[in-house]
Every structure is written in C-alpha cells, then in structure tokens.
A = this chain, B = another copy of it.
C-alpha cells in the first residue's frame, strides 16, 4: 500500500459535486487545457474552454468555446453562467479574473493555490514555513538588494522574477564579478528573488491530486531532464532511493493539504546527494497538471488529467499505479518532424497538440515510450 493513499485532511472544503452531463469550464486553451478537456469528455462531462487566442489547441476538442480576454468581465460572467465549475491550465490567471469567477461559480483549485504559486517569494516562504527544504533565497527589488543578497547567499545563484516566469524565462544566473545593474536589467527590473544555486544530482517531481474531500493520491516520482530550461525527458521510476520516493510523496501531500488544493498539483524537486545520503529540496509548485506527469497517460492506471477532472468535479480520485517503466520525451520545435518515425516505433505512444507552427522552443507534442524493466 502506498504511503500516500487517501490521507484525509482536516480542512477539507465542502462544495458541490457534478454529475455526468455537467459542464466544466477551463481557463486557458493550450495543450494542458486540451488534455484536461479530453479527460473530461471521456467521463461524460461537457467542456467549455475560455481563451483569448482563437487558434487555441483546446478548442479543437471542447464542446463550447469562448474567445475573449481574461479581463473581459462580461465574457467571464457569461462563461460562469454556462458552467458548473471552473478550473485552469495555468497558474498565472489574473487575480481579478479569478475573483470575478469565484463570485459566481466554484473555482478549483481555489484562491490559495493561485496566490502562493503566482509569486516565487510567497511560494518559497510558504514552503519554508511548512518545514520543506528550499534553496536559500532573498527578495530583490533593485540592484542594491541584489548585491546584498549575493553577499548573503553566495554565488553562483539564480535571479528570478517573482511573477510570470516559466521555462527559464525571467531568470538569469549570477556569478562572481557580476554587474548588478545589468543583471537586474536582464530580468526586466521586475520584483525578483535571488536563490542559491542547488548542486543537485538530479531533478525530479512529484505529481499528485487532491480531491474535494481532501483525499490525496500521488503518482510515482518522475525524474526530469531539462534542455535549454525546458523539460525534455521524464523517466519513471526515478533513480532514487525508496525512502526518497516516500519522502517526495509525503512532501507533495503536505503541500497540497496546506494549500487546501483541489485538483492535480506538481512539486518540482532537486535531489541532492552528499555524505549523508539523498535529500530533497523543493524548487517550485505548479498548482495544475504538469508536463512531468504526461507519462501517466500511457503508463499509469489513471492519468493526471483524469485525476484533475475527478477532483474538480468533486468525484472520488482513482488509485494510480505504474503499469510499466516509461520515458516521456517532449517534442519541442522541429522535433515534431519525427512524427512518422515515432509512429513506426513499436510501443511508442504519440501525442500531438495540433499546433500549426513549430517555432523553436514551442512544445508541439510528446511521446511516451516503454523502458526496459
């Protein structure tokens, strides 16, 4: 039995549950929204996707569509009136957007998940206060702060904007002899934090879901390789000790409970190996389905998208089990040109997002491949 199975939380939120035929609204029309939409449809739910971009991949598989700005309050009100619950595929939902919707319809995950995860300073503070190890960090609001923080934390370190960073955007490495004004300019002179560099042995993540009743179900820990700051490969099982696997699951559950999270959630982790053995350092929280959970579509008994839908609908979570060792490869930019070769590989499962243009760095699809045991 998994250490994480069905741990009820004291602060489980009450709330409505949907029935099949109910409508789930999704903010955001990218590939994550698209895969949530497919999972919802498979469970007999209607899907209504809201996204400003008319060419959004999720529109292709959704019953209803709203093309409007996230600031369009009339459109938000109409959307709220057309759905039974709202969820989102990205954590950078504007605060006002979330508030307008939450006044009209349940929004899951709730406001705490958004507030904490939108701001790296709030996130690191939250994790620290939970007793979860994080890299040493310090708020940086100007060049002088940066110089002081660098002295305190030591170098190399990473300067990151507090808000709106992803896939390595909005961050820069600070090394000995750095120019504080220049470094602060690189990240757009936005409120930031400086984080100590973590000398990790490998990167991993724990993906889990928490239900409306507070039950948590974790997936197996995923081992992640990034290239150019973008996730390139995920392997499961991760090459970590069994106790580390258990610790990661417990850490994820703790985070989810403390956020009163409803839905799928991922915590990105660094694994550090030293004379004392292995230990985990939390990097960041994604309060949503996560790229490092895409392997679950083909190698787990229930996938992260279905778990998210179950949670958001107020339904019981599935019990995820690894079916067989797996590697997920992201198809980034013109990687997608290999689609025909991938189709011909025995056992490979291809997922394409239906994006028209394969720009460099753009996530075009992914492939799940069985690994030898």
Q: A194-237: contact bitstring with B at CB < 8 Å (1 yes, 0 no)?
A: 00000000000000000000000000000000000000000000
Q: How far is the CA of A339 from the CA of B346 in the complex (A)?
A: 34
Determine whether the beta carbon of B21 is less than 8 Å from that of A38. Answer: no
Determine whether the beta carbon of A61 is less than 8 Å from that of B44. Answer: no
Determine whether the beta carbon of A347 is less than 8 Å from that of B319. Answer: yes
Q: A330-373: contact bitstring with B at CB < 8 Å (1 yes, 0 no)?
A: 00000010011001101101111110100000000100001000
Determine whether the beta carbon of A315 is less than 8 Å from that of B340. Answer: yes
Tell me which of B20, B47, B339 contacts A60 (CB under 8 A): B47
Q: Nearest chain B CB to A317's CB is how many angstroms away?
A: 9
Q: Nearest chain B CB to A328's CB is how many angstroms away?
A: 14
Point out the residues of chain B lying under 8 angstroms from A302, CB to CB: 349
Closest Cβ neighbor of A59 among chain B residues: B63
Point out the residues of chain B lying under 8 angstroms from A21, CB to CB: 354, 356
Interface size on A, residues (CB 8 A): 43
| Count of chain copies | 2
Determine whether the beta carbon of B343 is less than 8 Å from that of A44. Answer: no
Closest Cβ neighbor of A310 among chain B residues: B343
Q: Nearest chain B CB to A263's CB is how many angstroms away?
A: 16
A41 in contact (CB, < 8 A): yes
Point out the residues of chain B lying under 8 angstroms from A365, CB to CB: 44
14 A–B contacts from the bound complex (CB under 8 Å): A20-B336, A20-B354, A21-B354, A38-B61, A41-B60, A44-B339, A44-B354, A301-B346, A301-B347, A301-B349, A316-B343, A316-B344, A319-B347, A323-B323
A160 in contact (CB, < 8 A): no
Determine whether the beta carbon of B42 is less than 8 Å from that of A38. Answer: yes
Point out the residues of chain B lying under 8 angstroms from A321, CB to CB: 347
Closest Cβ neighbor of A316 among chain B residues: B344
A318 in contact (CB, < 8 A): yes
Point out the residues of chain B lying under 8 angstroms from A356, CB to CB: 21
Known: A316-B340, A318-B343, A339-B44. A60 touches B60 (CB 8 A): no
Q: Nearest chain B CB to A91's CB is how many angstroms away?
A: 25
Q: How far is the CA of A339 from the CA of B19 in the complex (A)?
A: 9
Contacts A43-B350, A315-B340, A316-B344 known; 14 new A-B pairs at CB < 8 A = A20-B339, A21-B356, A38-B38, A38-B41, A43-B351, A44-B353, A46-B60, A46-B354, A59-B63, A60-B62, A301-B349, A301-B370, A302-B349, A318-B343
